[in-house]
Amino acid sequence: MATVSVRYIVDDVDAAIAFYCAHLGFTEKMHPAPTFAMLERDDLRLVLSAPSTAGGGGQAMPDGTNPEPGGWNRFLLEIPDLAATVGALREAGADFRNDIVTGVGGKQILLNDPSGNPVELFEPTRPEAALTP
């Protein structure tokens, strides 16, 4: 059961569902409208909203600013074998912002979802950087 929710604005909810479920291990929990869906992976609920005038997370702000995908904020998925995962994703045609880099706690890479939202894939190299022992 998810304990954390993150909302991503996406251009195409169906394309995002296909991407996250096929490549990153999410499952679809609900998809009641073309502009909205909820996916889950372990403790993470990913709420997907397309820009829409129908209300909800995809509606414009009071000043008229429309939500749009992209940016640099992201969620992080811990991956046991980053090189193998990246290889499989590249083979499937996934789009990355960079190559694998090594930091002080592990190796990471930024993957773009179909709308250009970043997802950080992270392989810890230090025990204290891992989510689970």
pTM of the model: 0.89
Q: Contact, 30 vs 38, CB < 8 A? A: yes
DSSP 2-38: --EEEEEE-S-HHHHHHHHHHHH--EEEEEEETTEEE
Q: Is 49 helix (H, G, I), strand (E, B) or coil?
A: strand
pLDDT by 10s per residue, the chain, length 133: 778 999 999 999 999 999 999 999 999 999 999 999 999 999 999 999 999 887 788 888 899 998 999 888 999 999 999 999 999 999 999 999 999 999 889 999 999 999 999 999 999 999 999 987 6
